[in-house]
Structure formats: structure tokens, C-alpha cells
Amino acid sequence: MIVIKRDGSEVAFNQQKIIDAICAAMNSTKKKGDSELAQKIADKVTRKISKLEKVDIEHIQDEVQSALMNSRRKDAAEAYIGYREIRTLKRRERSSLDKKVLGLLELTNEEVLKENSNKDGATIPTQRDLLAGIMAKDFAQTYMIPKRVVGAHNSGDLHFHDQDYSPYFPIYNCMLIDLKGMLENGFKLGNAQIETPKSITTATAITAQIIAQVASHIYGGNTINEIDRILAPYVFESFKKHYRKGLEWLYMLEKDEIEDIDISWENKKLHKKYPRCFEYAKSLTEKETYDAFQSLEYEINTLVSANGQTPFSTFGFGRGLSWAERQIQIAILQNRIRGLGRDGKTAIFPKLIFGLEEGVNLKPGDPNYDIKQLALKCSTLRMYPDIISVPKVKEITGSFKFPMGCRSFLGRYEENGEELHDGRFNMGVVTANLPRIAVKANGSEAAFYRLLDELLEVCKEGLMYRIERLKGVKAKVAPILYMEGAAGSRLQPEDTIDHLLKNGRASISLGYIGIHETMMALYGTCLFDDQELRNKGLQIVQYLSQKAEQWKEETGYGFSLYSTPAESLCYRFCRLDEEKFGRVEGVTDKGYYTNSFHLDVNKKVTPFEKIQFEKDYPQYASGGFITYCEFDSMVNNPEALEAVWDYAYERVPYFGTNTPTDRCLECGFEGEFEATNTGFECPNCGNANPKTSSVIRRCCGYLSEPSQRPFNAGKQKEVLSRVKHM
């Protein structure tokens, strides 16, 4: 007799397998096994099917099941049925997992392929990363994340972010790299021991290596906080190096003589004595700094981290006043203005953020006002830099630092009586779907807050699990972070990282989405148009902030409220809610949810009204925020952008402008390409070839090139709906 297995293959019948299965079912009960009875039942089943030439495995199992049911061991029958059900379920799960993997193989799994516009899902290293992500997520949902949280995530009540990495891996979100500590104290990278660099060229080369390494050990963005200040000492080192050469070749000094000279930028007497040498060293150092930052920009845009993508990297700069710091600021901006490659394409990474500050660079007469002008020019051409208002960030977050990645801000934290920023990180995010509970509340504010409380309990459970997963993790799992200093610590391999998580050193963030849709669902009008509704919108965010604060006090961990960027989430939540509630006017009918506290992208207001409307939110969402305005091209008009920056500086902590910075490589047109059904087209010459077009749009916090790699459907709708604010 032949048995047909589930996969269609055929094997010879073997009665012992039936006996084993029955014994296993019996053994899992309280009454335990009875091999004699098992033999009897197996004989009975065999007799029944023996006339058949071929028999299906399911048929045999049905017979075993009914024979057991008719025996005195009904308990074993139940165990056998239960066992069959679990196996069926497993098979079904397995096949859905297989489907995802197959979708990746055949490039049909849009959700996985387009979740992150920074990943080119078609390439092999990225596919390896995506494959690992599919498995990690499946495993985490089945065995790790608390069941209530998994259920809420899958139904769309909340979003437990980045499951392709965390919690399967004990890995965190985003960080400020302690580059200063690493360069000053040296560190090990792969097989090499790195000492303190002796020139800006080496310093930037090492910086690129560090960024690549760090980006492979975390899943969110990394920031070099005040890169001009951190790397300035190495510009001075280069200056000394060139000065020594100058003394040797321009003034014919002996090597021993040179050794004894105290060369420093401040040594004016020396420069008076060797004026040509000073000019020579200064000029060579400026060129070297420019070249060093050009290499760094190329490195970051060309390298692929172990996560299968260009590292999400950010440079914060602009506050340094020394000659060296100014040279770095100029080098960063001039390189960005120049663009990448022969065609001078806009660099996507690193994100640039320029710190504006009165007395430094804000007003004519400030020492770095010239650099603000350069930053303005750069921003009109390349969209970056965005700006940070230094006093506003201090006021809202308690101390000054640039954001981690695109918008996550740390709170104030002290170690040994000093403010500490670099080396700190964010442990992850869970985002609450506010519009959903607003629709469910059916116009009742009380019901909304009741549902919100319930939802926040589940969010908290998810966040606590994120922390739990990092506790007890040993330094050796990410040497670059914990042993070599990127996270500001030099631990031994077997040490745990627990102390880095506590007391607000690291943040853990509750995210939220769609204040606009939430208000539409609750009150039926756009909150922009009604002062009372504006207050109510603010109250929701204030309420979330209080919850985060309460959790912080309860647990001692750095809970904060974060305005989630929601690149793919804006689409996912809306799609799930449309499935659930149908088309709800002003809520689910647009195909996307609005980012955090942002004004509806389709609302026609002036940039100043938008800034005014959004300015009150960051003080509550102090764990992450940004305000954007949409403009026509200002390539010809940096003066206009300056007026907008100056207005924003007084009112919001973090501000970016979305202006068309598209370029036609055929006719040289700079401005805005027209979106067509098939892509983008130059309005001057009609060129629609993606290879000779540079079309850049902001997608969440970072830039993207949608002409090369299209957005997900919801994001595309959101981008197409954006109106210009003027």
C-alpha cells in the first residue's frame, strides 16, 4: 500500500508510524501510554484501509481519530485532535511565511520591497536583509512580543516599529555617535587599532568607517552632533602639518629647528615672522578640509551598511566660531552645493542641519552671517540644510543638541555633573493610531479618551517589552557601540549595557499619528479653522505627553512623546481603517494619514500661518518634532528663504522647507519637474528620461529620488496632495 503525503510525494505504508502517533497522544495526557491499546487501534485502522491501493495521509489521520474516539481513551483522542490542529496551523503559517519569501524572490511583495524608500529591494545584499527581516518579524510575533501587542499591531491599533530588526535582535533605534570620544581615545575597528588622527583627511576617513559600522548595529538614524566642533582639532592638526612643510621648504629651516617651534593658529608672533608660511598652511588646509568633506560625502552616499542600505546619517553643525570650525561648515555646504558626480546630482545623505543662533550667524554683523548666506543658497538648491533654532531647542528639550537621525530628540541628562548628549540613543518607538479610536468614539470626546487610555496601556506594554529586550544584553553583541565608544562607553565583552538604558540616558518613545484626521473624525471640521478645536488638538498631544511623563516617573526610563515620521505607516493605518470603517469623509478617504501634529498637507495657508499653527506642539512632543513648509523654487531667491527662516527661528525649534530642487541634465533647467502618470517631466524641454533627470522629494524626514525608486502608494498620494504654502 502506498501513502500519499501532503506535498504529493508517495511512500510505503508503515504501521509503526500510526502506533507512534497514538502513543505520543496518549503520553501527553494524565493517564499516560497504553502500547497494547495503541497496537489494537493501529491494527483496526490498517484493516480498514488495507483494501486501498493508495491512501491519503489525511484519510489515515481521520481513521485514527475516529478509532480513538470510539475507544476508552477519549482523552487521547482529544490530544490527538489538538495535535493535528496545531500542525495544520503551523503549516498554514509556514505557507504564509513562504509566500512572503517567494514574494521577495519574485519581487512581487510590495509591502516589504517599498516599506523603506532608502532600500533598493532588487539588489542581493538588500534582499538578504529583507529576508532576514521577514524571518525576524515572524519569529518575534510568534514567540517574543507580548500577544496583546502583536494583536494590536496586526489589527492596526498601534504600530510596533521595525520588527524586521527588533525585538528579534537586541538592537536599538537611533543615536548621537560619540565621535569625539572615539577619535580622542582611539578604538578598534575590525582588525585595526585606530589612534587619534593627525589630519582632517584621516579624521573624516575614520568618521565614514565609524558611521558605516554604527549603521550596521542599529536600525534607525545616526547623527554626528556638532561635527564642526568635533572635527575642528584635526583641521588644526592639518594646519600644523602644512606649516611644518612651509617652514622646511619656504624658509629652509632644519628639521630639529622646526621640532622646537610651537606651531599653533593662535601663535600670531610666529605668523608675523613667517607670513608666507602662514598663508601657505592656511590655504592648503582650507583645500584639504574641502577635499576631506568631499570624500566623506561620497563615502556616505556610496557605502551600504549590513542593513542593506545607505546609512541614515545626519550632520548637525553651524555653531562653531573658530577658523577651523568655520572651514568645516563651509566645506560641508560647498560640497553639497557642488553636488555628486559629473552631473552634480543632489546628495541624499547625510542629512544636513544648520544651527541658527543670534550672535553666531543669524543677523548681519554676526561672525558667521556669511555662512548663513551659504546655507541659504545650499538649501534653495539642495533642500538641505534644514534649520534648528538653538534657543528654541534649549527651551523645549532642556539642553542643546541636534536630533538623532531625522527628528528624534533626547532630553536633558547629566553624568558627573555635566550635560551629556553624545553616545546616547533611542530604544525604539510604538505609534498609536489616533484616528481609529476617534472614529470608534463616534463623536464622543469622553469615549475617545476612554479608548485612548486603553490603547496607551497596550502601547506601554509594547514599549516596556522593547526595554526588557535590551536589558541584560552583553557589550560583545555590538563592540562598536559598547566596547569601542560609539555609545559613549568602553565596556568589557561580558558586561551588560543596562546602565546605558536607565535614568533618561536613553529615550523610549510613544509615537502618534494623524491629529488632523482625529479632529476631523471627532468634530467634522479642520482644526485650523476653529480656535476651540485648535486647543482641543493641542490637548490630545498634551495628554499623550503627560502619559509619557507619568511612565517615566513610574519606571525610571526616559519615556518621551515622538511625532512619528510615518513613511509607510501613513498609508498602512489608513488602509486598515478604510477596510474596517469604510470611507470616512476627511479621515480615510485620502489614502493616507497626516503626519503627527502637522497641518493637512492639502490646506492652503501661508507658511507663516502654518508655522504659527504648529508652533505650540513641540513643547509637548519634545521627543521628536519638525515643521515643514512647501515652496516654489527659490533657487533665484535666497532672500525670500531668509525671511522665512528668520520667522521660523523665533517660533519653532526645527524647520525644513520643501522646495523643488529638480534638475534637468539635458537642458540645465533647475526648478520643479512636472509629475506625470508615468513619472516626471522637465517643464522647459520636456525631458522625461529618469537617467538624465534629478528629481528629489522629501519623504518623511529624509530625501528620496522618486524618479529612480517610486514611493509606496499612500506616500505618493500624500506627496501629490501637498500644496504650496504661499
Partner 1 sequence: MSLMNIADYKRFDVINGRGLRHSIFTSGCTHHCKGCFNAATWNFNYGKPYTEELEEQIIGDLNMPDVQITGLSILGGEPFQNVDGLLRLASRVRNECSGKDIWVWSGYTFEEIIADDNKRKLLSCCDVLIDGKFILEQRNLKLKWRGSNNQRVIDVKESLRTKQAVLMPL
Q: How far apart are CA 685 and CA 369, in angstroms?
A: 37
Residue 494 appears among annotated catalytic residues: no
| Three cell numbers, residue 275 | 607670513
Binding partner 1 (rule: CB under 8 A), the pick from 287, 303, 608, 705 is: 608
Q: Which is nearer to partner 1, 244 or 698 (CB)?
A: 698
Q: Which residue bears the cell 516626471?
A: 680
Q: How far apart are CA 77 and CA 29, in angstroms?
A: 10
Of 404, 629, 634, 664, the catalytic one is 404
| Three cell numbers, residue 58 | 489525511
Q: How far apart are CA 461 and CA 151, in angstroms?
A: 12
Q: Which is nearer to partner 1, 266 or 646 (CB)?
A: 646
Residue 689 appears among annotated catalytic residues: no
Helix (H, G, I), strand (E, B) or coil at 123: coil
Could you tell me the smallest distance in angstroms from the CB atom of residue 297 to partner 1? Answer: 26
Residue 426 appears among annotated catalytic residues: yes
| Three cell numbers, residue 450 | 476612554
Binding residues among 624-653 for partner 1 as defined by CB under 8 A: 631-634, 636-637, 639-644, 646-647, 650
Total interface residues for partner 1 by CB under 8 A: 26
User: 584, 703 in Cβ contact below 8 A?
Assistant: no
Of 465, 562, 592, 617, the catalytic one is 562
- Contact residues for 668 (Cβ-Cβ < 8 A; gap 6+): none
Binding residues among 307-366 for partner 1 as defined by CB under 8 A: none
Q: Which is nearer to partner 1, 524 or 686 (CB)?
A: 686
Q: How far apart are CA 397 and CA 212, in angstroms?
A: 29
Q: Which is nearer to partner 1, 289 or 389 (CB)?
A: 389
Binding residues among 198-227 for partner 1 as defined by CB under 8 A: none
Residue 519 appears among annotated catalytic residues: no
Q: Which is nearer to partner 1, 196 or 684 (CB)?
A: 684
Q: Assign residue 252 a region: left if phi > 0, alpha if psi is -120 to 50, beta otherwise?
A: left
Peptide bond before residue 706 is cis, with ω within 30 degrees of 0: no
Binding residues among 660-699 for partner 1 as defined by CB under 8 A: 667-671, 683-684
Q: Which is nearer to partner 1, 94 or 363 (CB)?
A: 363
Residue 404 appears among annotated catalytic residues: yes
Binding partner 1 (rule: CB under 8 A), the pick from 606, 686, 710, 723 is: 606
Of 109, 117, 118, 173, the catalytic one is 173
Q: How far apart are CA 312 and CA 216, in angstroms?
A: 11
Of 411, 485, 514, 701, the catalytic one is 701
* 726 is a contact residue toward partner 1 (CB under 8 A): yes
Residue 483 appears among annotated catalytic residues: no
Could you tell me the smallest distance in angstroms from the CB atom of residue 347 to partner 1? Answer: 22
Residue 514 appears among annotated catalytic residues: no
Q: How far apart are CA 501 and CA 427, in angstroms?
A: 8
Angle value at C-alpha 436, between 431 and 442, nearest 5 degrees: 145
Strand boundaries in 408-500, DSSP class E:
414-415, 418-419, 426-433
If we measure between CA atoms, which residue out of 494, 485, 515, 710 comes closest to residue 599? 515
Residue 562 appears among annotated catalytic residues: yes
Of 426, 596, 687, 712, the catalytic one is 426
Per-residue CA distances from 549 to 493, 504, 546 (Å): 34, 11, 5
Residue 585 appears among annotated catalytic residues: no
Q: How far apart are CA 537 and CA 372, in angstroms?
A: 35
Q: Which is nearer to partner 1, 582 or 683 (CB)?
A: 683
Helix (H, G, I), strand (E, B) or coil at 12: strand
Instruction: List the x/- string, 557-596, binding to partner 1 by CB under 8 A.
Output: ----------------------------------------
Active site residues: 173-174, 404, 406, 408, 426, 562, 567, 701
Q: Which residues bind partner 1 (CB under 8 A)?
A: 606-608, 631-634, 636-637, 639-644, 646-647, 650, 667-671, 683-684, 726
